[in-house]
Amino acid sequence: MDKNKVIAIVNQKGGIGKTVTALNLGYALSETGKKVLLIDFDPQSSLTVCFGYDNTDNIQTTIYNLMALAIEEKSLPKMEDYIVKIGNIDLIPCNLELSAIEIALVNVMSRETVLRAIVDEIKADYDYVIIDCSPSLGMLTINALAACDSVIIPVTPQYLSAKGLELLLKSIIRVKKRINPKIEVDGILFTMYAERIKLSKEVLSIIQEAYGSHIHIFENKIPTSVKVGEANMKSKSTIEYDPKNKVSVAYREFAKEVVSL
Ligand SMILES: Nc1ncnc2c1ncn2[C@@H]1O[C@H](COP(=O)(O)OP(=O)(O)OP(=O)(O)O)[C@@H](O)[C@H]1O
Ligand SMILES: [Mg+2]
């Protein structure tokens, strides 16, 4: 194991490609021989559904169950009892029950670090642990920020909210000060980026000007393709579904950038 790096894919804005990024980054890394664990940390469970679960209610052990155990300071079950293997990738799945965790955490001491306690126990087995976050800055996302080494922020030109990005960066700084001093921002990843559209270029230059000096902007930008949606429907990553597609090529190149960090 060369890295044992834990990366959270975060943006409180919904629908901007977090889950697609987590899945394709995980797939691209595993293709190059890295051992990868994905954690679905969004009650919407999109990532779990991407792995082919039609009915997430029936899943035996989810990240919610593990957190409930960690809250009670009970030990975790054996890894094979909660880690699902799909091809070369490992997944800790999720279902809607995770939405109840915010309330369960209210009276818990160290409630920001419940996920960290779990991740710390298992990360030694992986090169990369990738956490797919929910579109919020609530206690779930704070747990992900507390548990990770670094953050990747997907941003879509069409839906850029400068205020939203500012709030997200503030949360990261707060977590860095109080709970997780080692956290770094790996960078901003442009998704659904259309090179030829003026808006994309404008948004890129706005972000470069505002943040370029202190936050890395990934060289590779992810274009838009209908194959992404098709792949989702077939419970596959875009790379697996259509390896030569421009989105697949971009995610592979992006994964190389991530490895080189
Ligand atoms: N590069 C792309 N090209 C075309 N469609 C894309 C691309 N990336 C994501 N999408 C589509 O956009 C939608 C949102 O993507 P995704 O689920 O990854 O976003 P998200 O940020 O995880 O959303 P949420 O915050 O709700 O979890 C999905 O329907 C997905 O198929
Ligand atoms: Mg998602």
Please tell me the distance between residue 178's alpha carbon and the centre of ligand 1 in angstroms.
Answer: 32
Alpha-carbon span 105 to 71, nearest angstrom: 8
97-101, 170-174, 192-196: lowest mean pLDDT where? 192-196
For residue 220, give every residue at least 6 positions away whose Cβ sits within 8 Å of its Cβ, in sequence order, or none: 189, 250, 253, 254, 257
87 CB under 6 A from ligand 1?
Answer: no
For residue 189, the CA-to-ligand 2 centroid distance in Å is 15
Q: Can you tell me which atom of ligand 1 is nearest the CA of 13?
A: 25
pLDDT of 1 > 70? The answer is no
Percent pLDDT > 90 in the chain is 69
Question: Residues 211-232: what's their mean pLDDT?
Answer: 92
Residue 50 located in a structural domain = yes
Say what the pLDDT of residue 63 is: 96
Contact 20, 132 (CB under 8 A): no
Residue 64 maps to a domain:
yes
Asked if residue 156 lies in contact with residue 144, where contact means CB atoms within 8 angstroms, the answer is: no
Q: Report yes or no on 253 lying in a domain.
A: no
| Cα torsion 78, 81, 87, 92: sign | negative
Question: Over the stretch 118-167, which tens digit does the pLDDT of each residue have?
Answer: 999 999 999 999 999 999 999 999 999 999 999 999 998 877 777 788 89
The CA-atom distances, in angstroms, between 245 and each of 26, 185, 225 are 17, 28, 8
Ligand 1 pocket residue status of 243, Cβ below 6 Å: no
251 belongs to a structural domain? no
pLDDT at 243 over 80: yes
pLDDT tens per residue, range 34-90: 999 999 999 999 999 988 888 888 888 899 999 999 998 898 898 888 999 888 899
CA distance 38 to 23: 8
Give the total number of structural domains in the chain.
1
Distances (CA, A) of 254 to 26, 69, 188: 11, 36, 11
Q: Atom 13 in ligand 1: which residue has the minimum CA distance?
A: 15
The answer to whether residue 231 is domain-embedded is no
Range of the domain at 19: 5-182
Query: What CATH number is associated with residue 118?
Result: 3.40.50.300
Q: What is the pLDDT of residue 168?
A: 93
SS3 string, 17-30, reads: CHHHHHHHHHHHHH
Mean pLDDT, rounded, of the chain = 92
Residue 242 lies in a domain: no
Question: What does the pLDDT read at residue 2?
Answer: 59
**Nearest bound ligand to CA 227?**
1
Rounded CA separation 119/129 (Å) = 8
Look at residue 188 and tell me if it is in a domain.
no
Interstrand relation of 89-92 and 84-86 (parallel, antiparallel or unpaired):
antiparallel
Q: Is residue 60 a part of any domain in this protein?
A: yes
Write down the pLDDT at residue 110. Answer: 87
Q: Take atom 31 of ligand 1 and give the residue whose Cα is closest.
A: 229
Residue in 10, 12, 13, 19 to alter for ligand 1 test, most ligand atoms within 8 A of Cβ: 19
